[in-house]
Structure 1
Amino acid sequence: MKPAITHYLHQDETLPLIQLRRLGLIYSSYRFIVGLFSMLMVYITAQTGNIASLPSFLQQTVLSFYILLSLILLGLFYVVHKKMRRQLAFGLVLDVTILSLLLYTAGAPDLQLTMLYMVVVAASFMLLHSSQALIITLLAIIFVIYQQFFYAIANSMNLANLGNALLMSASFLAVGGLSWSISYRLVQLEKVAASHAKEVERLNVINQEVITQMANGVIVIDNQHVVLANLAAHQLLSLPYNASITLPSVSNEADSSTRHESYTELLTDFEQQLSKQHTQLLHACLSVSAGQSCTFTYDLPSVANASIFGKLRVHIIPLTDGSKLIMLEDLRREQASAQQLKLASLGQLTASIAHEIRNPLAAISQASQLLMEDVIEIEERNTTNGSTAVSNSNDDLSGNYELYKMIFAQTKRVNRIIEDVLKLSRQQAASQQSIVLAEWMPTFLENYFQGHDIFLRVKTQPTISFDTHQLEQVLINLINNGLRYSSYANPHAYVEIEIYCADNDVIIDVLDDGAGVSTESLKHLFNPFFTTDQAGTGLGLYLSQAFCEANQTRLLYIPEHKKTCFRLIAPSADAGTYGSMNKKT
């Protein structure tokens, strides 16, 4: 028995503050209503006889005092959020005291008042610590037994009422025990619910982060309205996205409400922009019947006059609640993967062939150089002799010299081709770094194109992720091509570079005023070994495109531009700040 009592007294688990405040407000309102009702019933009872009479002064004073304090405690508990259990404990002690005074003024035992004691006892075990509730229960028992004992003495020791008081006291303890058991179970349920809520919140945060960081776009449509759209969906469809708005959580109700309103506004704006710019996609998604999955390819329209074209693979998956899950997959990633596989296969083949070719090529090149040196020596000796026969021999030697020179030039060209092929075979995974173009580009031009007319116009200050060495190789190839094919001969040839943003992409245009690429050559432009320059290898643009695709960047030729335009389209690493900057190198 003693261990059970000790365990009971040390049991200090109570309701959470939110539940405690809610139940406390309910009980405080109940106390005020009971006070008013008791005052009303006292006056009604006093007027039931033929002769009107007033309640006793003690009853009026006690009830008036009780109503006033009940109203004060209700207002105080509603306004003050600190020390709520102390406020409740004071109110429960007040209830026991007032009920005892009313029971005393009633004279005879009153079942209604005695039942109100049980409400106080039950409330104390639900709202207070176990030790505080036990004290209030004992206080109620003492008051009831004392009042009944005093009434028994005043009525010639009628101990029947005293026995009823003892039975009622035992009932108080039983009600207290049951209330404590219910309260304890409620506390445990609250803990389990809180634990589950935290787990749900943790899973919600994880799911939110996973959905946000997905490379594929995710859209959920329910009843023809967008209820979810992640960052990738905004980027793939080139629609504005506020990165500061996140999915609402369940941990903080006030913060959750604010974020829910902001997120709802974001989805509404997304839905409006989707219906304006991607009507075909929205119509195709809505036209798919419920319970039917569908996959198709969607051609993206041009965006912001940036000539950004691409294709998306759209998967429509029906959900059990009748909504539709739409997955947007960028086909450029598949193309980049295929390009990497092609480069890997080419590298394995060319790495072995190139080394085998370079050995005989070096011998041919050396032999042609030796033959040219022999021709020069023979010409010098014949010139010294000065005979007619020697003159005819010099003509033959001169012809041979041109042939040897041609052999040597062609071996150098083949060697350049082998060097470019070996670059492809040695290509490693891109080591991307954050590059602030407004700071990096002037330094690059100063290092590689000092003395050339390169005009740089930076309309924004974006940051991209790119392998710096590979970006240098790409720009060197494009700028050299621009200088080579410019309509002005050196040293008056010039190239323009424009940097600006189009939605979530950073655009780098390399412009020259040359004749551009013919329609016949356009379809072969980025093929390996295709060139219109007899001195070229045909691997410059192919290698540049391979570097771009390895860094999730597109390299395009824009035929509709007024000038010859090669365009790099890279994902923006941040929103950037807008300004203007011009530079000539």
Structure 2
Amino acid sequence: MKRTGYAVPSALRNADRQDSLTWKPLRFLTLYRLVLAALLVLLFFLLPGARNLGSDNPWLYAVVSLGYFLFALVVGFSTRLRRPGFQLQVLLQITVDILAIVLLMYASGGLDSGLGILLVLAVIAGAMLMPGRMAFFFAAVATLALMAEFAYRYLTYAGLDSSQFTRVGLLGITLFTAASLAWLLAKRIRESEALAEQRGVDLANLARLNEYIVQRLQSGIVVVDHRERIRLINDAAWVMLQIPTEARPEGLTALSPELAGALRTWQQNPGREPEAFQPPRSEAVLQPRFTRLGSGADAATLIYLEDTALMAQQAQQMKLAALGRLTASIAHEIRNPLGAISHADQLLGESPNLGDADQRLVEIIASHADRVNGIVENVLQLSRRGTTQPQRLLLADWLNEFVDDMINYQNLDSDTVTVDIDPVDLQIEFDPGQLNQLTCNLIQNALNHGSRSGQTLEVKLVGRISESGAPCLDVIDNGPGIDSETLGSIFEPFFTTSASGTGLGLYLARELAEINRARLNHIEREEGGSCFRITFARVD
């Protein structure tokens, strides 16, 4: 569905326009000349008594008509070959037309032959092909030739009435009038064609520009007619619906049965909000919007598709921006008194006169001050996640390096955290620093809550391709799991089952996943334990 470029090449455009005003009409003129010459020859030789053609000089008429026919054949080929140039061909052809017609008139009795109308047609053709002064040049040549023919006839034939000079003059005026009108008509035609050509170019450029914009929208665009045949689909919709590259569905049902059903529901009840749906080959949840393009029964429908994950990501960005402003304003107000409390608690704990009960109270103050400080740190850290720098990562290499660092940093056994990636070349797109924090939060959550008495805790990192074709990573532990009452609240902020926890670990992990176009969910396991799945965005 990609389109490249949106401008009509000016050289080709000018060449086509020039050809439509020059060589194409000249070819029509050569065809007309060939038919005319053939008729003049056939009428003379096949029907000698039917007309007065060649009545005064049959030999001259025969020679000129045959020569004119041969000339029509030759110029027909030369026009096709475009040799010689256009102006020279027009000048030669129209001049020969005028001379040939005048000679045929002379051989057929002059103006009484009725061939004078052919001079008018020749002058009009010349004026259309070469407007301007050349139009009047052809009219002048025809008038002079006509007058010369009549003068020669007047001097040669006795008894010719001199009053026929008036007819010659009127025909000459007709020739100049026809040349003037043809020149004005040709000028208007050229201006109209140039304007129409420019309007066509503007419309073509505008259409291609619109198509260029539609193809690069992040939202999916599909246009269907009243029979649900696809008229337009942009690249974003193609990716959202996860249509294979080689597929070329013509109907909306073949493209997406869910979307076709939503369209029919909307057509029956336009006021109802369309329900979101998930394509079978995609992890994304799409929200459709429908708009009718026209008022008739056969009007097309514009389908607007929004990825709810992208919408949630945009809302998340706004939420993080607001949270950043809030935390920046309250961090100073909280940390200053918190620092004073911690400092006073430390000085009080160093006093030698404290009893055991007072010392316990000092420890409680220090513990809760650290907890409050940890909450502030987490909130500040969350508010700084407004921007991401995703990179393409080879998941197996990145996880192996991450696990080695974590085992060394926390002094864990080498078999506490294991990695299993299939296929080994599985790739993802994620911000490396945020992926580090996300994975670390999940593993730390498993280490804190997944231990069982008498059983060694094990955490498995399993990477694979999900059923929808998107890469995913499962963080699995063999702990006691999460009970059903707690499961509904684990991703809520400040919810914790630990007295020392802040309740922001899983909430922060989900937020980090969402701003990287990924999803974090808890997956129930029949074998027991906990499984948190990160479903990454599909890598092109």
Q: TM-score, normalised by structure 1?
A: 0.71
Residue 94 of structure 2 is matched in structure 1 by 92
CA-to-aligned-CA distance 1:48-103 (integer Å, 9 cap, x gap) = 49xxx9x9454344333333332343344345599444444433233223223322
2:242–2:279 contact (8 Å) kept in structure 1? no
Cα distance per residue 1:17-71 (max 9 Å; x no partner) = 224344233222211111211111112331549xxx9x94543443333333323
| Alpha-carbon distance in 1 for matches of 2:211, 2:432 | 33
Aligned: 1:554 with 2:518: yes
Report the counterpart of residue 564 of structure 1 in structure 2. 531
Structure 1's 521 and 31: CA in aligned 2 closer, same or farther, altered over 3 A? Answer: farther
**Structure 2: distance between partners of 1:287 and 1:500:** 31
| Residue matched to 1:153 | 155
Q: CA RMSD in A?
A: 4.2
2:441 paired residue number: 477
TM-aligned CA deviation for residue 181 of structure 1:
0.6
- Which residue does the alignment assign to 2:381? 423
Structure 1, residues 397-455: CA drift from partner, whole Å, max 9, x if none?
Answer: 5x87666555534432332112102223x43642x5563334x9957974895375556
**Within 5 A, what are the aligned runs for 1:5-16?**
16=18
Taking the TM superposition and a 5 Å limit, the aligned residue runs for 1:458-469 are none
Query: Of 29, 37, 60, which aligns to 1:35?
Result: 37
Q: Among 174, 192, 195, which residue is 2:195 paired with? A: 192
The question of 1:303 aligning with 2:303 is answered no
Structure 2 counterpart SS, 1:324:
strand
**Counterpart in the other structure of 2:291:** 316
**Secondary structure, counterpart of 1:297 in structure 2:** coil
Residues in 1 aligned to 2:386 and 2:351: alpha-carbon distance in whole angstroms: 48
Distance between the aligned counterparts of 2:143 and 2:396, measured in 1?
A: 88
Runs of 5+ unmatched residues, structure 1: 1-13, 243-265, 379-392, 576-585
Query: What is the rounded CA distance, in whole Å, between the counterparts of 1:285 and 1:120 in structure 2?
Result: 64
In structure 2, give the amino acid aligned to 1:238.
Answer: Q
Aligned-pair CA distance for 1:176 = 0.2
Shift of 1:532: 4.9
Structure 1 residue 166 corresponds to structure 2 residue 169: yes
Which deviates more from structure 2 when the two are superposed, residues 139-148 or residues 455-464?
A: 455-464
Q: What is the aligned partner in structure 2 of residue 285 from structure 1?
A: 263
1:474-513 superposed matches below 5 A: 474-478=438-442, 480-481=444-445, 493-498=459-464, 507-513=471-477
After superposition, the Cα gap between the structure-2 partners of 1:490 and 1:112, relative to the gap in structure 1 and judged at 3 Å, is: farther
SS at match of 1:70: helix
Measured at CA, do residues 276 and 477 of structure 1 come closer, stay the same or move farther in structure 2, by a change above 3 Å? Answer: farther
Deviation of 1:373 after TM superposition, in Å, equals 5.2
Which secondary structure does the structure 1 equivalent of 2:305 belong to?
A: strand
* 2:232 matches 1:238: no
SS across alignment from 2:492: coil
Q: Which amino acid aligns with 2:405?
A: Q
* Amino acid across the alignment from 2:441: N
Alignment-derived partner of residue 6 in structure 2: none
Change (3 A) 1:485 1:193: farther
Indicate which of 233, 237, 254 corresponds to 1:229: 233
Tell me the percent identity: 25
Shift in CA distance, 72/547, structure 1 to aligned 2, threshold 3 Å: farther
Partner residue of 2:221?
A: 218
C-alpha change, 1:491 and 1:513, in structure 2 (3 Å) is: closer
Amino acid at match of 1:31: R
State how far apart, in whole Å, the 1-side matches of 2:166 and 2:154 are. Answer: 10
Determine the C-alpha separation between the residues in 2 that align with 1:206 and 1:33. 48
Distance in 2 separating the partners of 1:345 and 1:313: 29
Question: Alpha carbons of 1:408 and 1:279: their partners in 2 closer, same or farther (altered >3 Å)?
Answer: same
Letter of the structure 2 residue corresponding to residue 26 of structure 1: F
Instruction: Identify if the C-alpha distance between structure 1 residues 433 and 167 changes in structure 2 by more than 3 Å, giving closer, same or farther.
Output: farther
Change in Cα spacing, 1:491 to 1:524, as seen in structure 2 (3 Å) is: closer
Cα deviation for residue 177 of structure 1 reads 0.2
CA gap 1:296/1:20 in 2 versus in 1, 3 angstroms: farther
* 177-186 or 477-486: bigger deviation: 477-486
Q: TM-score, normalised by structure 2?
A: 0.77
Secondary structure class of the residue paired with 1:201: helix
Q: Please list every run of 5 or more consecutive structure 2 residues that lacks an aligned counterpart in the other structure.
A: 1-15, 408-417
CA contact (8 A) 1:216 1:330 kept: yes
- Specify the alignment match of 1:275 in structure 2: 253
* Structure 1 pair 129–429 and aligned structure 2 pair: CA distance change class (3 A): farther
Return the alpha-carbon distance in structure 1 between the equivalents of residues 115 and 443 of structure 2: 98
* Residue 149 of structure 1: how far off its partner (Å): 1.2
How far off is 1:153 after superposition?
Answer: 0.7
Contact 2:426 2:464 in 1 (8 A): no
> How much does 1:467 deviate?
6.0
Counterpart AA for 1:355? H
Letter in 1 for 2:392: V
- Aligned residue among 536, 543, 553 for 2:508: 543
Q: 1:215 to 1:145 in 2, by over 3 A?
A: same
- Shift of the 194–422 alpha-carbon distance from structure 1 to 2, 3 Å rule, reads same
Tell me how far 1:117 sits from its aligned partner: 1.2
**Match in the other structure for 1:361:** 338
1:457–1:449 distance in 2 versus 1, CA, 3 Å: farther
SS at match of 1:298: coil
In the alignment, which residue of structure 2 is the partner of 1:524?
Answer: 489
Closer, same or farther: CA 492–545 of 1 in aligned 2, 3 Å: closer
Aligned to 1:581: none
| Residues 60 and 433 of structure 1, relative CA distance in 2, 3 Å threshold | farther
- Give 1:256's aligned residue: none
| In structure 1, C-alpha distance between the alignment counterparts of 2:31 and 2:40, rounded to whole Å | 14
**Structure 1 residue 125, shift from structure 2 partner:** 1.3
The superposition leaves residues 459-503 of structure 1 with CA deviations (integer Å, 9 ceiling, x where unpaired) of 778785x66654554454346556777889999755344579967
User: C-alpha separation between the residues in 2 aligned to 1:35 and 1:528?
Assistant: 97
Are residues 213 and 188 of structure 1, via their aligned partners in 2, closer, same or farther at CA, if it must alter by over 3 Å? Answer: same
Deviations 1:315-343 (A, max 9, x none): 33351352223333344444344444544
In structure 2, the residue matched to 1:261 is none
Distance verdict in 2 for CA 1:303–1:491, change over 3 Å: same
Assess if the C-alpha contact under 8 Å between 2:463 and 2:472 holds in 1: yes
Contact 1:295–1:315 (CA<8 Å) still a contact in 2?
no
- The answer as to whether partners of 1:487 and 1:493 remain within 8 angstroms in 2 is no
Task: Tell me, in whole angstroms, the C-alpha distance in 1 between the residues paired with 2:113 and 2:482.
Answer: 104
Deviations 1:130-149 (A, max 9, x none): 24333333322222221111
Q: What is the rounded CA distance, in whole Å, between the counterparts of 1:459 and 1:198 in structure 2?
A: 53
Say which is worse superposed, 62-71 or 225-234, in terms of deviation.
62-71
Give, as a single letter, the amino acid of the residue that structure 2 aligns with 1:570. Answer: A
Deviates more, 1:171-180 or 1:537-546: 537-546
In the superposition, relative to structure 1, how do residues 151 and 560 fare at CA in structure 2: closer, same or farther (>3 Å)?
farther
Cα contact 1:25–1:77 (8 A) shared by 2? yes
Aligned equivalents of 1:533 and 1:25: distance in 2? Answer: 94
The residue number in structure 2 matching 1:117 is 119
DSSP 3-state at the match of 1:529: coil
Contact in 1 for aligned 2:428/2:471 (Cα 8 Å): no
Q: CA deviation at 1:172?
A: 0.9
Pairs within 5 Å for 1:61-76: 61-76=63-78
Q: Is the Cα–Cα contact under 8 Å of residues 514 and 564 in structure 1 kept in the other structure?
A: no
